[in-house]
Structure 1
Amino acid sequence: MVIKKFKRRFKEHFDEVLRTKRGLRSIAIGFAIGTFITILPTPGFNILLGLLIILIFPKVSKYALFTAFFVFNGIVKTPIYIGAIYFGKLILNDGFKIIWDGSILNTTMMLSKPFIIGILILDAIITVLSYHAAYHTVKIYRRRLKDKHEN
């Protein structure tokens, strides 16, 4: 029941993004910025950051920015965060073994540097990919819509 409601709301929101009169770049940049913001490990500040971006840059598509918040929810971000730790450890040549010695502070300190490095790099990569995905998705959608109206 909850999943159906979520899917319906997501589809409505996604359709709104595709139908907006904004240009392709505005939508793609909005989605990419939303992706970057939502993947950052700043719980609670993501929406405030998104609103601030919209106020500073009014040409950015607000619908696309907030659609990225729906796409990259907690379920999607969890594997990204775990991958960021391992990716950071790979970059730092720190090995893949995570040692739990019972001390939360020690474990947090041990994982924070690889996590920060990994999440910033993965976030940048995912942001670039999301820009291109949004750009081409809207382009294809608009082309199909145009072809449909011409026939």
Structure 2
Amino acid sequence: MILSRVEEWTGRVKAELQRSFAEEYSSRETAGSFALGVFITMLPTLGTGLIVFVALAWLFDRINRVALFASVLVFNPVVKWGVYAASFTLGVLILGPVPGVTSAEVSLSAGPEIVTRLLVGNVILAVVAAVPGYFVCHRLVEAYQARGVDIVETIEEVVGPDQGVVGPDEKAVGPDGGPVDAAGEARSHGDDAHGTDGGR
């Protein structure tokens, strides 16, 4: 059951990222938007993270909104409690322990010594998560775009770069300038003239 939930969660993240790849943004902009979202989501924003996302999307046109909001799927509220415990533990390793306090008793309503350690560890973990998140997303975007280029190049190799699809109101023209029949074979002007004379 846990494995199926993890697969479902991974599929949702992948689907949202792929949807963001289709937006009109560069690979750096998409990766930067996702990394920024990861950084903000990991911070103890007290439920204001989505408001921050909306404000950033409104202020900056080059932020990929889909990639930004996709980061919420990575660090959902359940995961964030584990992040807070790890953040406090890291803060204690850096600033020293708080007498009589364990990671299970961490909250933002606690004393300033606890909050300081929580925030220090949280910012460090947010950076640690955002940096690889940027490079992973950047690589995925470039791979997605390269796959699209490969498809275009393959089509051009088959049909030729200068050939296109003939519209319903257009007539296909053969190499000698003559018309092309339904089977795709060129007919010469002489054949057309012979057919016209034979019909008299």
Q: Which residue number in structure 2 is paired with residue 131 of structure 1?
A: 134
Give the direction of change, closer, same or farther, for the CA distance of 1:90–1:23 in structure 2 (3 Å limit).
same
CA, structure 1 residues 140+8, in 2 after alignment: closer, same or farther (shift >3 Å)? closer
Which of 149, 152, 166 aligns to 1:146? It is 149
Alignment CA distance shift 1:20-1:76 (3 Å): same
Write out the 4+ residue segments of structure 1 that deviate beyond 3 Å after TM superposition.
Answer: 1-12, 97-100
The structure with more radius of gyration? 2
| In structure 2, C-alpha distance between the alignment counterparts of 1:98 and 1:139, rounded to whole Å | 50
Q: Which residue of 2 aligns with 1:35?
A: 38
Distance of 1:104 and 1:66 partners within structure 2? 27
Q: Secondary structure at the match of 2:62?
A: coil
Inter-partner Cα distance in structure 2 for 1:125 and 1:30: 16
> TM-score if structure 2 supplies the norm length?
0.62
Bigger mean CA offset, 63-72 vs 126-135:
126-135
Please give the alpha-carbon distance, in whole angstroms, between the structure 2 residues aligned to 1:104 and 1:21. 42
Inter-CA distance 8–140: structure 2 relative to 1 (3 Å threshold): closer
Pick from 14, 18, 21 the counterpart of residue 18 of structure 1: 21
Query: What number of residue pairs does the alignment pair up?
Result: 147
Q: Which runs of 5+ in 1 are unaligned?
A: none
Structure 2, gaps ≥5 residues long: 155-200
Overall identity of the aligned pairs, in %: 27
Q: Select the structure that is richer in helix.
A: 1
2:110 match: 108
Instruction: Give, in angstroms, the shift of residue 78 of structure 1.
Output: 2.6
5 Å-filtered alignment, 1:37-76, equals: 37-76=40-79
Question: Once the 2 structures are TM-superposed, how far is the Cα of residue 43 of structure 1 from its aligned partner?
Answer: 2.7
User: How many Å apart are 1:14 and its aligned residue?
Assistant: 2.4
What TM-score does the superposition give when structure 1 sets the normalisation length?
0.80
Kept in 1: contact 2:106–2:114 (CA 8 A) = no
Q: What code does the residue aligned with 2:22 have?
A: R
Q: Kindly state the Cα deviation for residue 108 of structure 1 after the two structures are TM-superposed.
A: 2.5
What RMSD in Å do the two structures reach over aligned CA positions?
Answer: 2.9
